Amino acid sequence: MLPGLYRIEVPLHGSPLKATNCYAIKGAERSLVIDTGWNREECREALGSGLSGCGIDLDQVDFFITHMHADHSGLVSTLAREGARAYFGQADARIIRFATPEHWQEQIDFAIERGFPREELEKAIGNHPGRRYSTGSPLYICVLGDGDTISVGDYLFECVETPGHTQGHLCLYEPGKKVLLCGDHILVDITPNITLSSRERNPLAEYLTSLDKVYDLDVELVLPGHRRIFRDHRERIRELKHHHRARLAEIASILENGKQDAFAVASQMTWDIDCQSWYLFPALQKLFAFAETVAHLKYLEEEGAVGWEMDGQAVVFFLTSGKKEVYT
């Protein structure tokens, strides 16, 4: 690692992600913590112990949250002391500030309309870490966007908006030291989950654009939100883009068999999970897979390769005679 910059692994017990990489940068007057882990006691203890070992006093810490997911933002309101700043991207800050029960109900209605069985969905939402381990409102949210800077210690970071994994996802880039703190934008041995749970967005299109946006940055060290640190971000970006092209092609192949709802499409796709069949997936993992399938269907729809219609109360999808080069 670099001088004054530390990685603290915060455990995520029961999650396939295993841990969140939280980073701390020690400054002369105030320090900066990037991401926090879930709002759970064992996460608080791990992060607190790690910060203490780095000689960082929580009374002099500000927080940069790469995105709103609870494994990155959960502890910020618990740890933030009076006067601390919590930096967020605009879209994610809005959700953190104004999240209501209606937010979850809208996601439930959206998923049911696309074929997710209600009983399993209620089980998945009940176990969702975004509900169980999320933050309260931080003391002071400071919204950042493209080109804004944060100076801490010997580092001058530039903010890079990278929507896709969430709409308000932010990375931090230090051009002098050629370091990219990238949250869940680029992960080296797992694929960031690109999901859709409402009608408004096209998250896969956002994500692919965001990958292109950081491709040309001069980076020697990539500090991701999970798993190991790595160096060649361009090679990994090429791999991620290939992965999503393969996903699009797989969906198109499934739809060649006729009109289907999104849950049925998801059930036939290839997933890297230790279960013998889709029907043995835990409900929460089914929801994540389903939401990723919907994001890819939305991308294909916007590109003119897939259409949809109502079949009774359900949305079903079908191939059109549109642009096959999207997935070939």
CA distances from 226 to 35, 87, 168, 240 (A): 11, 20, 18, 16
Which ranges in the chain belong to alpha helices (H)?
41-53, 70-73, 76-79, 90-98, 101-113, 118-126, 129-132, 203-215, 233-255, 262-267, 283-302
155 vs 133: CA distance, rounded Å = 31
pLDDT at position 323 is: 67
Contact 79, 63 (CB under 8 A): yes
120 vs 117: CA distance, rounded Å = 6
Q: Domain 105-128+247-326 belongs to what topology?
A: Arc Repressor Mutant, subunit A (1.10.10)
pLDDT at position 246 is: 96
69 vs 133: CA distance, rounded Å = 10
The tokens describing 180, both together, are: 């990219």
Segments of the chain with pLDDT less than 70: 1, 99-101, 322-324, 327-328
At CA 62, angle to CA 165 and CA 147, rounded to 5? 55
Contact 142, 86 (CB under 8 A): yes
User: What is the value of pTM for the model shown?
Assistant: 0.94
pLDDT at position 100 is: 64
Give the number of other CB atoms < 10 A from CB of residue 57.
Answer: 12
The domain spans of the chain are: 5-99+134-231, 105-128+247-326
Instruction: Write out pLDDT tens, residues 106-149.
Output: 889 999 999 999 999 989 988 888 888 888 777 789 999 999 99
Contact 186, 193 (CB under 8 A): no
Question: Crossing angle, helix 233-255 and helix 283-302, to 10 degrees?
Answer: 90
Name residues whose C-beta falls within 8 Å of residue 273's C-beta, 6 or more positions apart in sequence.
16, 281, 285, 289
The tokens describing 196, both together, are: 């859709």
Instruction: Write out pLDDT tens, residues 169-216.
Output: 999 999 999 999 999 999 998 999 999 988 879 999 999 999 999 999
Radius of gyration of the chain, Cα coordinates, nearest whole angstrom: 20
Pick the CATH number of 5-99+134-231 from 3.10.20.30, 3.40.50.300, 3.40.50.1820, 3.60.15.10: 3.60.15.10
The CA-to-CA distance between both ends of the chain, in Å, stands at: 41
